[in-house]
Amino acid sequence: MKNIYTLFITIGLFIFCGDASGQANHIVTIGGKLIDSVSQKPVVAATLILKNIDATQNTLSKADGSFSLSGLQPGKVTLNIRAVGYVEKRILLNLQADTLLRAIVLSPDVKSLHEVEVRSSRPLIQQKAGKIIYDLQADPEAKAKNVIDILPKIPYITVDGNGNVMLKGSASFKVFINGKPSAMMDNNLKNVLQTMPAANIVRIEVFTIPPAKYDAEGFGGIINIVTVQNGDNGFKGNLNINDHSPLGGPGAGGSFTYREGKLGINAYGGAAINNTPQANFSTTQQSYGDAPSFLTQNGFKHNNSRNGYIGAELSYGVDSLHLLSGEFSINGFGYNGASYQSSLLTGTAGILQGYDIDNNNNGNGNGGDAAINYQLGFKTDKNRLLTFSYRYAGYNNYSFSDLGLSQEINYPLADYRQPDDELIKEHTLQVDFITPVKKVNIEAGAKAIFRTDQSSFQYLSLDSASRQFLVDPSQTNIFHYSQDVFSLYNSYQFALGKWAISAGARAEETVVNAQFTSSGTTVDQNYFNLVPSFSANHPLGGGNLGLGFNQRLRRPGINRLNPFVDRSDPNFITSGNPQLKASAMNNAEVSYNTGNGKKLSVFIAADRIFVSNLDLLVTSFNSATQVTSATYQNTGRGGGWTFIFAPNYNPVQWYSLNLNNNLTDIMITGSDQGVTVKQYKWLDYLSLSNVFRPGKGLDYQRRPQVRKFCARLVTINHQRMAKHYRWRKQRGD
């Protein structure tokens, strides 16, 4: 603990004894207003693209014609302005301080109104140091799909047929809402994403190399979902209703924003019913040696679920230096399902064991989180910010299984029931400090997380005499678990020539205390991790080249630490290992994005992964008893490669093709009782999306090139289409 206390003191002195004299403002903002040269009315939804040597930023003009771009480095920039029906305008600027442009006048382009095909210049994928950004406002599919349907199109993200999400090939990652942790994403991710309309989302940010300000937990990184915000006064909202068949069900979701003066509100919510049709399964297992055997198991399973959530963010600007904000969310779900399994174990002497088992299960969960933040600015430099935050999250989960056995052969197990009640709580205290010093932006902060997890799992066996279900103490699992994480971080963002660089480190001290009542075991752990991160971005050939390196952690969860011996399946006995420590993964990354081409844009990346102390499930089979035992051990080491290829092709206005290919090649080496075991995996994930927009095709029907394409596509209708076109033109349509 001595190291972490020393770092706390160092960062504290830096925050509160920093440069108070003030530095020059090196992060600038530009704003202005677009006006029609003829009508003098605001030009709405014009695309503004600002380019400098380091990066490209873009935005759209608002309802009053105004626009704003912030977080810019000083220097020479080019501002391109494009709007349907107007002559494109280019402005060269030398930004050295915040700049408010006078009214920018755009001239109508009469010739272009009927002859020029206008295409959106908003890139679908943007690349910045340590992350990629997927713009849902530039994706027409976002208007009609849920977030879970859009995720497979985003590089590094994969979604399997059951809706399980993985980031960089790992199920260990974090999901944020507007840059903040979310309890509903931690505990009910799949159901929430299946319910959340993509139309409510502005963009999805994938942090493959998260900066030091974020917790080191999660091998894959961070997915940040940014919801629709309202920069203008008044209300704005939307509602989405959908249905999925045969897998899924009806759902609805929506969002609304409200802003009036200093007060801003952003709310979202949704609900859905999910029906999973029956799935049949069949497995076999063969063992060799002195007592060879053959195990066959087959059956089916199905379930139905329902879930709902609401969340909101509120902000109030007391004045130019003081900002109060907060957020909260609540969510709940319920499910019921059934499964059947028939098992038969045979050997040289015939049937060794057999049984049929019916399982009816149900459960429900609910929880939420709430946070409050206070941000303090400084008169000497408005880019210097000090923020204090507190967050509470709680979640309760109850599950119940009722299992009945029949056709038993050498399987002396009575019917049983398994109720489980789990409660999770988390308190977080955090302070963050940001300040520019000359041309370097410095971030530092401290954070403390206090987590508790308690569970009461019971095993009730049917008593043959009383016909009552009685508690079996040997298989009842009661525990109380706490995990406290104390961390400090320091990071720097600066430009080095054309390179935009972010570098930093995070120190984390983890204190674990667990009391496993059922097994009479107590666990006390205390370990320290220093986690580096580095990312860089460089413009190259009209696109962006990215480089990065970082380390991520995966702390063992309670299911892996718990020494309770689970004998619910007599043929496969599992237990946790209270001595497990955190696993570390080092990741080196190189990526390239071609930028926003008129027709084709491509994102490619390659990652090299190095893993140590990976907690693996180690199994051993006893041929005499035909029983497999399994527990977790920090025995894994090795690494692999991940390759990403994600092109986006838009040959015509009304059609686009999106491909996302994730290829992972990994080899892990472990040991079991002195014997080295190697596990090799090769995974290839491919997502292909074709988007047709017939409405756009009709809108541009009068254009010669589109008419020509349609004539080639449907030759028999060419004369009728041309005749209809001439008739509409004579009418003046």
pTM of the model: 0.75
Q: Is the predicted pLDDT of residue 431 greater than 60, yes or no?
A: yes
CA distance 54 to 36: 31
Which residues on neighbouring strands pair with residue 715, listed in sequence order?
none
User: Which of 482, 618, 471, 496 minimizes the C-alpha distance to 547?
Assistant: 496
Within 10 angstroms of residue 666's Cβ, the number of other Cβ atoms is 17
Return left, alpha or beta for 163; rule: phi > 0 is left, psi -120 to 50 is alpha, else beta: left
Print the SS3 string covering 376-390.
EEECCEEEEEEEEEE
- Return phi, psi of residue 250, to 5°: -70, 150
CA distance 281 to 254: 38
Task: Tell me the pLDDT band of 113, cut-offs 50, 70 and 90.
Answer: very low
Q: What does the pLDDT look like over 39-81, one tens digit per residue? A: 788 888 888 888 876 667 778 888 788 888 887 778 888 888 9
Q: What does the pLDDT look like over 298-340, one tens digit per residue? A: 999 988 989 999 999 999 988 888 999 999 999 999 999 999 9
CB 553 within 8 Å of CB 532: no
DSSP state of 643: E
Instruction: Using CB atoms within 10 Å of the CB of residue 496, give its burial: 0 to 12 exposed, 13 to 18 middle, 19+ buried.
Output: exposed
CB 463 within 8 Å of CB 504: no
The confidence score (pLDDT) of residue 538 equals: 92
CA distance 451 to 65: 48
Report which residue type is found at 523.
Answer: V
End-to-end CA distance of the chain: 77
Q: Is the predicted pLDDT of residue 10 greater than 60, yes or no?
A: no
Which of 15-24, 90-99, 273-282 has the weakest average pLDDT? 15-24
CA distance 336 to 306: 9
The confidence score (pLDDT) of residue 461 equals: 92
User: Which of 482, 559, 477 minimizes the C-alpha distance to 518?
Assistant: 477
The tokens for 614 are: 């990976």
Omega prior to 246 cis, within 30 of 0: yes
The confidence score (pLDDT) of residue 110 equals: 54
Q: Angle at Cα 629 formed by Cα 358 and Cα 616, nearest 5°? A: 105
CB 35 within 8 Å of CB 41: yes
CB 439 within 8 Å of CB 24: no
Within 10 angstroms of residue 161's Cβ, the number of other Cβ atoms is 6
What superfamily in CATH does domain 2-115 come from?
A: Immunoglobulins (2.60.40.10)
- Could you tell me the residue ranges of all domains in the chain? 2-115, 125-418+425-694, 701-731
Print the SS3 string covering 264-329.
EEEEEEEEEEEEEEEEEEEEEEEECCCCCEEEEEEEEEEEEEEEEEEEEEEEEECCCCEEEEEEEE
pLDDT exceeding 70 applies to what percent of the chain?
Answer: 87
The tokens for 575 are: 């237990």
CA distance 481 to 689: 45
CA distance 398 to 419: 8
The confidence score (pLDDT) of residue 565 equals: 82
Q: At a CB cut-off of 8 Å and minimum separation 6, what does 72 contact?
A: 27, 28, 29, 30, 50, 52, 57, 95
Residue with tokens 């015939």: 350
State the chain's mean pLDDT as an integer: 83
- Return phi, psi of residue 40, to 5°: 65, 20
The tokens for 707 are: 């008419």
Mean pLDDT over 504-528 rounds to 88
CB 58 within 8 Å of CB 47: yes
User: Which of 473, 460, 481 minimizes the C-alpha distance to 400?
Assistant: 460
Q: What does the pLDDT look like over 335-375, one tens digit per residue? A: 999 999 999 989 888 898 899 999 999 999 999 999 999 99
Mean pLDDT over 526-540 rounds to 93
CA distance 457 to 463: 19
pLDDT exceeding 90 applies to what percent of the chain?
Answer: 35
Asked, colleague to colleague, whether 2-115 and 125-418+425-694 share their fold, the answer is no
The confidence score (pLDDT) of residue 590 equals: 96
Q: What does the pLDDT look like over 376-400, one tens digit per residue? A: 999 888 789 999 999 999 999 999 9
Q: Is the predicted pLDDT of residue 543 greater than 90, yes or no?
A: no
The confidence score (pLDDT) of residue 690 equals: 82
The confidence score (pLDDT) of residue 462 equals: 92
User: Which of 647, 658, 654 minimizes the C-alpha distance to 692?
Assistant: 654
The confidence score (pLDDT) of residue 582 equals: 87
- Return phi, psi of residue 724, to 5°: -65, -35
More confident residue, 696 or 166: 166
> Which H or E run includes 616?
strand 600-622
Q: What does the pLDDT look like over 177-218, one tens digit per residue? A: 988 888 888 888 888 888 888 888 989 999 999 999 999 998
Coil, helix or strand at residue 39: coil
Within 10 angstroms of residue 89's Cβ, the number of other Cβ atoms is 17
Q: Is the predicted pLDDT of residue 702 greater than 70, yes or no?
A: no
What is the longest distance spanned by two Cα atoms in the chain? 96
Q: What does the pLDDT look like over 136-148, one tens digit per residue? A: 888 888 887 889 8
CA distance 173 to 167: 7
The confidence score (pLDDT) of residue 388 equals: 97
Please state which CATH class domain 125-418+425-694 belongs to. Answer: mainly beta
Q: Is the predicted pLDDT of residue 544 greater than 70, yes or no?
A: yes
Within 10 angstroms of residue 471's Cβ, the number of other Cβ atoms is 12
The confidence score (pLDDT) of residue 239 equals: 83
